[in-house]
Structure formats: structure tokens, C-alpha cells
Structure 1
Amino acid sequence: MKKIAELTAELAAPVAAERGCTIWDVEYVKEAGTWYLRVLLDKEGGVDILDCEAISREVSDLLDEADPIEGSYTLEVGSAGAERALKRPGDFVRFMGSPVAVRLYRNRDGRKEFAGTLTGYDEGTGAVTVRIGDNETTFEKADTALVRLRVEFS
């Protein structure tokens, strides 16, 4: 049986495509005792509230019809955001050269978060290389809790 997030992504992809959007990620998570099914969208030029509303309505109907989830949950459809998490190999390739923040599980050099420019990704190991100032630092996948885009203001 397919995971709920995977099934939801398959159901939502054609609906999102009709509005010029793509599915960035789908999460099915429990927070504070409530289950949330989140569909995060991406779109050239940005996702707007009308995209989210239309896609939410259609995906909700498709989920009601397919009925893959026992019990209650909250469906949320929104933009992946400017500071979105990078998870898949294609995400790292697409945003190579972009400002990122890397959060670690354990302190390294007295801190857990590092900001820099994404300069490398090893698809085989999942290691991420980031230029921080004049130095390049590689973070192993096992040590890395999160890699996300970072917006810089000048």
C-alpha cells in the first residue's frame, strides 16, 4: 500500500499542473495531537492564494473519493516558500549556487546552524558542500537535520 503522502502527491499533481504549479512536497504529520496533510506548491513567478484555494478544493474532493486516511486530519495547501527545505537530489541541483542554511543534529565548532552558498551535492552519499566565507565545508547526510534556502537582503 502506498504511503499517504505519496498517494496525495499523485492525486494532487495533475490538479496543480492545471494551474501551472508543481508539487514541491507533501507531508503527513502529527502535531499537538492533530494530523496535518500538507501539500506544498511551487510555481514560476510564485504561488498565490487563488492557486492554493482552487487546488485545495479539488484535492479535498479527490481525497474524499479515494478515502486513504482513517480518522480526521487537516488539509493545508500552500506555497513551499522562499526558504524551502531542500530534500531531493534534484532540489540540490536546481539551487546550486544559492544561499542556504544547514542545520545539524549536533554542535560543530560550537554551533548547529551554518549559512553559506551551496557549492556541491554528492548524490551517492547525500553530503552537501557549502562555501562559508572563503572556505568550503562538507556536511555528511547523517549529521544534517535540514538544508533550506536562505533569503539574503542587501
Structure 2
Amino acid sequence: MKQKKTASRVVHTASAKRTQKDTKNIVTSVRACIAPIVSSLGYELWDVEYVKEGTQYYLRITIDAPNGIDITDCERVHRAIDAPLDVLDPIHDAYMLQVSSPGIERELKTPEHLQACEGETVCVHLFAPLAELGGRKQLTGILGTCDDETLQLLEGTQEWRIPKKKIAQVKTVYDYSDMTEDAES
């Protein structure tokens, strides 16, 4: 009985490693397939994710446009990429295809995302507190320039150069007080 449990764990671990590699391959092939389609429709392909939540797999396609995204845009892209994805058949298991906008507070994952959002307010989450940042694990400020190694963040009068390898996540921060002021006037 113990041998079966051990063998099961080994198989599970091995399949988990394969799944991580497969996930990267799936995302890469899906991106290559749909990027020209999304672009031809006048949208930017913001992100492609393939994730498992509970027992369900999801292929999440995130799109953007200069004037924002609404449900009609998502439906249009969904219809346009559905058949090409069926032909490509990158995923052999059942999955849900979701097309959405990156939202007001969007995660910045690529150098292009960071460059596009220079000058905007962002929240930077670190993997662990850094002594040189006052022992904090989270900072909010204005995104400055970024290079291959570091991200510049202006927090009040303080300028930080944060090593990218220490960053877990960068997200834009929306100032909801603008909405409150509009509602009050």
C-alpha cells in the first residue's frame, strides 16, 4: 500500500513538472496563433494565461485598446479566435476560453507593460521585505523608467531602484477619489 502511495506521489510530481513546461508551451503557441488576429481587429493582446482552478482549466486571453474594452469587444475577439484555437488544438483537456480586459488596476508583467505605464501610480509587491526599502514588502508610487535589472519608483520625494528579481507583482493603482468627486458634482 505504501508503495502505491509513493509511486502515486512520484507520478503526480513528475506530471506537475510536465504541466509547468506544457503550460509555457501552450501559452507560447496560443499567443503566436492569436496575436495577429487580435491585432487585425484593432486590439492589443495584453496577456495569455493557462491556469487550473479547482478541477477546471481556463485559457484566459486579455485584450486592451486605447479607448478601453467592453463586453462587445470581448465577444468579438472570442468569436474570432475560437475556430483558429480549435485548429491549433494546443490543449488536449477540456478548458474554458475567457476573453476579458486587463481592468482599471492591471498587472504589469512585461517590459512593454511597464514602459506603457511610466508616470502612472503603481503598487509594487516584493517577494520578501527589503532592508534598503525600510523593511517593507509593498510600496506605492509613480512608476519611473525601467531597465533589464531594475524598476524606478518615485514615492513622494524618495526615489527607489528596485531589483526586478525581488518583485513579485506590479499593478497600476486607480484613484477612486476622481469617481467620488464626479458623483458629488
Normalising by structure 1, report the TM-score. Answer: 0.89
Q: Say whether 1:117 aligns with 2:142.
A: yes
Matched, 1:6 2:31: no
1:54-98 superposed Cα distances (whole Å, 9 cap, x missing partner): 211221221112211111111110001121111222222222111
Secondary structure of 2:94's aligned partner: coil
RCO greater where, 1 or 2, for CA within 8 Å and sep 6 or more? 1
Matches within 5 A, 1:72-83: 72-83=94-105
User: 1:31/1:118 Cα in 2 relative to 1: closer, same or farther (>3 Å)?
Assistant: same
The SS at the match of 1:129 is strand
Check the 8 A contact 1:83/1:150 in 2, yes or no.
yes
Distance 1:142 1:17, change over 3 A: closer
Q: Which has the higher strand share?
A: 1
Which secondary structure state, in structure 1, belongs to the residue aligned with residue 62 of structure 2?
strand
Aligned match of 2:158: 135
- Picking from 157, 176, 183, the partner of 1:153 is 176
List aligned pairs for 1:78-93, cutoff 5 A: 78-93=100-115
Q: Cα deviations across residues 9-42 of structure 1 (Å, max 9, x unaligned)?
A: 2222233223311101101112223211110001
Question: One-letter code of the match for 2:54?
Answer: A
Contact 1:119 1:130 in 2 (8 A): yes
Gaps of 5+ in 2: 1-21, 178-185
Q: Percent of aligned pairs with the same residue?
A: 36
Which piece of structure 1 moves more, 140-149 or 81-90?
A: 81-90
Letter matched to residue 101 of structure 1: C
Of 148, 158, 167, which residue of structure 2 is paired with 1:144?
167
Counterpart contact for 1:19–1:51, Cα < 8 Å: no
1:36-75 maps to which residues of 2 (within 5 A)? 36-75=58-97
Q: Higher helix proportion, which one? A: 2
User: What does the per-residue CA deviation read over 1:125-146, in whole Å, with 9 as the maximum and x for residues that have no partner?
Assistant: 2x11101111011221221100
SS at match of 1:3: helix
Misfit runs of 4+, over 4 Å:
none
Give the number of aligned pairs. Answer: 152
Q: TM-score, normalised by structure 2?
A: 0.75
Larger CA Rg, structure 1 vs 2: 2
1:12 is aligned with what amino acid?
A: I
